[in-house]
A and B are shown apart, each in its own frame.
Chain A
Amino acid sequence: MLLIPCPFCGKREETEFHHGGEAHIERPKDPDALSDEAWAEYLFMRTNPKGVFLERWVHLAGCRRWFNMARNTATNEILGSYKIGEKPPKGAR
């Protein structure tokens, strides 16, 4: 069970949260102009790294706010969480 540091509420158990997948995937600015390859990249392709991963979480059973977190997928070690719009913690990228 992960102990997740919500940037708004502090450390809470994983069961209060829902995982939102890879962070920092930007929605296409001009969807009409997008090629099929660019759509595939946006919708489906993921980095899925073995190592430090920047991901989104939502504190569903708490403050219900979205935030980002840096976690090592090889060890589940959490490097820190940060609010949307903020920079990842040092050492995460």
Chain B
Amino acid sequence: MSKYSIFSLARNALNFHKNWEQAWRSPDPKESYDAIIVGGGGHGLATAYYLAKEHGLSNIAVVEKGWLGGGNTGRNTTIIRSNYLWDESAAIYEKALQLYEGLSQDLNYNIMLSQRGVLNLAHNLHDVRELKRRVNAIALNGIDSEYLSPAQIKEIVPIINISPHIRYPVLGASIQRRGGVARHDAVAWGYARAADALGVDIIQQCEVTGILRDNGRVTGVETTRGIIRAPKVGLVTAGHSSVLANMAGIRLPITSYPLQAMVTEPVKPIINTVVMSNAVHCYVSQSDKGELVLGAGIDGYNSYTQRGSLHVVEEQLAAVCLLFPIFSRLRIMRKWGGIVDTCPDASPIISKTPVDGLYINGGWGTGGFKATPGSGWTFAHTIARDAPHRLNAPYNLDRFTSGALIDEHGAAAVAH
């Protein structure tokens, strides 16, 4: 793999960019590997990268039924933050944020991380008290976190409506200044390119149709491109966690819902931060192209259709126009849905399973993108050592039996 740099850019410019080498190979699957990662999204590719880089396990394959990052990695609103209430969540999301901060250098791939700050708004007295409690709890975990008055919010976001007379007035906000956005596709592509350079086989258009087991041990996977054997298999299939687990006879506490997002037509720079609101259900940021990236709440019923109901979008846009009246004449260009696998406690599962050698990483609900590096880091450790990392030990499958749930329902900007 040749290094991306200002010199390689100049060299390729002289050839009119005709000779860029492929970012990763597309090999045929081998008969067997030391480990197979099912799912070529950000989390799966990050897992493969850290398995190869941190644990020296490079004879591995990532199998993906579609194309890289074509699932939830390409469907989220690219927000990154670590301002979570509980210690377990703060630890893993902060690890992810710290890895994000060095990721472009580490992968030699510009993931366009922009730490433009993330605001969470309060709209009533309860919100204010809850946000202040969170700001302090988060600060106690060593994570940057401040509380802002409406006037301070207005300084950062001049276009926001802080009139006390609207239906849901803005009474305050928390801000994590290290939070922000990154280019979601670049995260998948960067991990893919770096993992490929370390010898990982990335196999696209290869759907897993069965999980082979012998005597309670996993022995490989059945795919649309034949049987691939491996003593270890990691399932990282956001949106299809239950479907894949079911192939191995494992029941999960997961329900899959559509979550919709949309972008407007591009406009000049108008908002230079990320604004989220729990109470009125919206989150807004502006992409480098100028589109406003807007997210809605999850739909009311479970579905695998990757589309949702229009009334959810209407409510979301009403909330956006309430907070930002200036957006009211913008047109929506595209809208889409992703399938979010949601656990009863709104926290993920990164765990061993009752089947030896089979590991599962899923159930991230609406908040998986921001966790991508931390998820891959801890899942790689779990697979390589057959034991969880300190950071994902609380996220085991047994917690639903022991009762040690990590109740993060308040952490998201959308209701679960």
Is A61 on the interface with B (CB-CB < 8 A)? no
Residue of A nearest to B307 (CB): A76
Q: Which residues of chain B from 293 to 315 have a CB within 8 Å of any chain A CB?
A: 300-305, 309-311
Q: Does A25 contact B (CB under 8 A)?
A: no
The 8 A CB mask of A22-40 against B (1 = contact, 0 = none) is: 0000000000000011011
* Interface residue ranges, A against B (CB under 8 Å): 1-2, 14-15, 18-19, 21, 36-37, 39-41, 43-50, 53, 55, 71, 73-76
- Chain B residues near A40 (CB-CB < 8 A): 253, 400-401
Beta-carbon contact of A74 and B311 below 8 Å: no
Bound: A48/B240 CA distance, A: 9
Fill in one digit per residue for B211-252: 1 if any A CB lies within 8 Å of its CB, else 0.
000000000000000000000000000001011001000011
Are A36 and B401 closer than 8 Å at their CB atoms?
Answer: yes
Residues in B lying within 8 Å of A, measured CB to CB: 240, 242-243, 246, 251-256, 300-305, 309-311, 344, 400-403
A55 touches B401 (CB 8 A): no
Besides A46-B242, A73-B303, 15 new A-B residue pairs in contact (Cβ under 8 A), listed by A number = A1-B310, A1-B311, A2-B301, A14-B309, A15-B311, A36-B403, A39-B401, A40-B253, A44-B344, A44-B400, A45-B251, A46-B255, A48-B255, A49-B246, A73-B256
Q: How far is the CB of B177 from chain A (nearest CB, A)?
A: 37
B312 to chain A, nearest CB (A): 9
Closest 8 CB pairs of A and B: A44-B253, A48-B242, A40-B401, A19-B301, A45-B251, A1-B309, A44-B400, A40-B400
CA–CA, A46 to B302, complex, Å? 11
- Cα–Cα distance between A28 and B251 once the two chains are bound (Å): 19
Contact A74 B305 (CB under 8 A): yes
